[in-house]
Structure 1
Amino acid sequence: MGVARRLHRDHGFDLAIHITYGVFRHPSFLGYLGIPFIFGPLGGGEDAPLALKRSIRGREKLKELLRSLLNKTALFDPFLWAAYAKSKLILTKTEDTRQALPWPFRRRAIVYPEIGIDAPAGIQARARQPGEPLRVLFAGRLLGWKGAHLAIRAVAQAIAQGVSVEFTLLGKGPFESELRKVAVAAGIHDRIRWVSQVPQQELFALYRTMHCFLFPSLHDSSGNVVLEAQAFGLPVICLDIGGPVTLVTSETAIVVSTQNQNEERVVQGLADAVRGFAGDEQGRMAMSRAALEHVRGAMSWEKRAYGVFALLGQVTHGD
């Protein structure tokens, strides 16, 4: 805070923005500079329904329970309340985090995802050829809350229902051993293409070979891979919780409801989405084209930056 005061004394700033680590639990003291203060973008308030937490096995489940406890106890931090009280505007990555804020401060919070993407040139929607299996991709860290275990079970159900699927699971992490057990129990371990972490350009090349992106994350604050997948023309299957749902539209994704749903129904919803893409190529292609339009328009870095500038102008000019 001392450094901020010295800089403000030397330069006379008009506005202070605390660009956080993405976690709403960490307070800021920039509101005490005596100039308009924006807090955010904040994340971390996303939380999986208990029914889906139970689907996580081993130590990863314990991590989830501890994280939920930390989120609750953070709301008793007086420094955090002071930071919220000093802010003219709070930016949150998701509606979940906005709702996780202490209730007196939710009205001054705006949901504004902090990420964007510059879509590569020349990408077009790629048609699935007759007889070609539906190529489904999951990419992400192999952690319990990333939902890869739900993706595996959903693909297994789709295959059992006669859908021709090639499933690629890309990533590495501490939950991999549990995921392999899930795949063995579901009877599809040898039918999954297991790919460890790869350089970004190899991932981009892989996107080009796929037909859809399956990402049932339980509480991502953002979801860069969701934007990347759409930038390569892949329609998305995700859950209605966390960051991914803020990065898609009804034209670019099938969003599976978790509201009042148990684990089995969520998995069935994901499997139905996979089957839907496999059985309706015209609809899948329409979503592919919409995904490209979405990221090239609303989610481009230029549009995201100008959107932030507009919010800053409202704060500095008192609009």
Structure 2
Amino acid sequence: MASRLKVLISAYGCEPGKGSEPGVGWQLATHMARLNDVWVITRANNKAAIEAELSKHPIDNLHFCYFDFPAWARFWKRGPRGVNLYYYLWQLGIRKLARQLHAQVGFDVVHHATFVKYWVPAGVAVVTAPFLWGPVGGADTPPLAFWPGLGCRGFVFEAARCLARWIGEHSPSLHFTARRAALALATTPATAARLKKLGTRKVELLIEAALPEQEVQALKKLPPPPSEPFRFVYLGNLLWLKGVHLAIHAFARCGLPKTELWLIGDGPYRAKLVNLAEKLGIAGNVRFFGKLPRQVALQRLSECHVYVHPSLHDSGGWACPEAMAAGKPVICLDIGGPAVEVTNECGFKIPLRSPEETVYLLAEAMRRLYLDSDLRLRMSAAAQKHVEKEFTWTKRVEQLNSYYHMIVNTQE
């Protein structure tokens, strides 16, 4: 059995009972404390939820340290507004705390866990212990041919994102982070290439998303959908960069009888998507559910046959693993985290060469899964096995712990 290490984890997002990056921070910290002695630096505004959970369910060998700037210094940050700038400043702000903790504890390894943005420096990189960076992502960008379809806001957002990455990649602090990393974990090949260009010595691929074992089993036990109507489903925010307009175009192109496209989620792009469905003459077959409570959303997922995830860039995400755990074949684009998460045995990965060709290939994948029940059943079984093998938190933490010991042994 491997010896226990003293580990410092930086997790800006870390909160019990949450999904996405706050869930990553919490799940990583609590699972890793079973194997090592863990200290976590996170935001002070996570403290109430964390301390309330630990008072009910104490966890040995897990210690939290909280940092935020004073209220007067962050008055401009309200919810998601200003989060990127505040996150950058927070990383710089935790450096002193990380050094102080290292002087007191003497860490064997330090680990930057959340957020997943590769172009922001990691504050814990200043600690003179072996440093694991990631998984980080964010380098994937859709081809320029797809930008006009994003609409004005989406176009501006993507342009601003590219500018932010360019500025970040020229930051001395980011280059210091890259040089300090004994190992960097990238969520996608595109991010791996950027990390190598920044000067990181060793880079490996590892997807960020994982699910608790009990959730995998619960999803596996969801009842099968009715035979009719045949339903395709998307679950997520209705944002321009999620590519839902491509799915609607593809669904219209299919023209399959007794079929529906269910869209579960909400966002600023919803009105345009409703108008698009009406314009294409399929409004009666496209259902907009809005944002649903999680259990209701999963019930709706169980009533569908195929999961469609046409996102134009996601570093990873939980939607595809959750859908696969529920036995749904996945149709996604061959870009970003979903292209790493989904194998050819579990679904279809559609290349991005032009919007027209992508819509055609999305429609063909929909048609194949509609017509070929044997293929659908094989992909369903393969998807569930894939999740059980690769996407549980026990598996992910074992992988990260092996990386801890590898960089510690290499350093020695």
TM-score w.r.t. the length of structure 2 is 0.73
Which of 265, 273, 291 is equivalent to 2:357?
A: 265
Structure 2 Cα separation of the partners of residues 125 and 106 of structure 1: 46
- Relative to structure 1, the CA distance from residue 187 to residue 127 in structure 2 (aligned partners, 3 Å threshold; closer, same or farther) is closer
Give the 5 Å matches for 1:26-65: 26-65=120-159
Is residue 67 of structure 1 aligned with residue 161 of structure 2? Answer: yes
- 1:110 match: secondary structure: strand
Preserved contact between residue 184 and residue 202 of structure 2 (Cα < 8 Å): yes
How far residue 20 of structure 1 moved from its aligned partner, in angstroms, is 2.8
How far residue 7 of structure 1 moved from its aligned partner, in angstroms, is 0.8
The equivalent of 1:303 in structure 2 is 395
CA deviations over 1:32-68 (Å, ceiling 9, x no partner):
3221111112111111111112211121221112112
The equivalent of 1:134 in structure 2 is 230
Preserved contact between residue 57 and residue 178 of structure 1 (Cα < 8 Å): no
Structure 1 Cα separation of the partners of residues 174 and 273 of structure 2: 37
Q: Tell me, which stretches of 5 or more residues in structure 1 are unaligned?
A: none
Which of 105, 123, 129 is equivalent to 2:221?
A: 123
Structure 2 Cα separation of the partners of residues 163 and 304 of structure 1: 42
Which of 331, 334, 343 is equivalent to 1:240?
A: 334
Give the 5 Å matches for 1:195-206: 195-206=289-300
The equivalent of 1:278 in structure 2 is 370
Structure 2 Cα separation of the partners of residues 255 and 155 of structure 1: 16
The equivalent of 2:386 in structure 1 is 294
- Relative to structure 1, the CA distance from residue 191 to residue 124 in structure 2 (aligned partners, 3 Å threshold; closer, same or farther) is closer
Is residue 170 of structure 1 aligned with residue 268 of structure 2? Answer: no
Which of 113, 130, 133 is equivalent to 1:19?
A: 113
Is residue 110 of structure 1 aligned with residue 204 of structure 2? Answer: yes
Preserved contact between residue 183 and residue 200 of structure 2 (Cα < 8 Å): no
How far residue 100 of structure 1 moved from its aligned partner, in angstroms, is 2.6
Q: Which amino acid aligns with 2:383?
A: A
- Relative to structure 1, the CA distance from residue 272 to residue 163 in structure 2 (aligned partners, 3 Å threshold; closer, same or farther) is farther
Structure 2 Cα separation of the partners of residues 106 and 206 of structure 1: 43
Structure 1 segments (4+ residues) deviating >6 Å: none
Q: Which amino acid aligns with 1:308?
A: L
Structure 1 Cα separation of the partners of residues 295 and 222 of structure 2: 18
How far residue 285 of structure 1 moved from its aligned partner, in angstroms, is 0.6
How far residue 198 of structure 1 moved from its aligned partner, in angstroms, is 0.5
Larger deviation: 93-102 or 136-145? 93-102
- 1:306 match: secondary structure: helix
Superposition RMSD in Å: 1.7
Q: Which amino acid aligns with 2:103?
A: R
Which of 80, 92, 96 is equivalent to 2:186?
A: 92
- 1:169 match: secondary structure: strand
Higher relative contact order (CA 8 A, sep 6+): 1
Structure 1 Cα separation of the partners of residues 116 and 202 of structure 2: 18
Structure 1 Cα separation of the partners of residues 226 and 230 of structure 2: 8
Structure 2 Cα separation of the partners of residues 144 and 155 of structure 1: 18
Number of matched residues? 313
Q: Which amino acid aligns with 1:113?
A: I
- 1:243 match: secondary structure: helix
The equivalent of 1:82 in structure 2 is 176
Q: Which amino acid aligns with 1:75?
A: E
Larger deviation: 279-288 or 296-305? 296-305
- Relative to structure 1, the CA distance from residue 208 to residue 290 in structure 2 (aligned partners, 3 Å threshold; closer, same or farther) is same
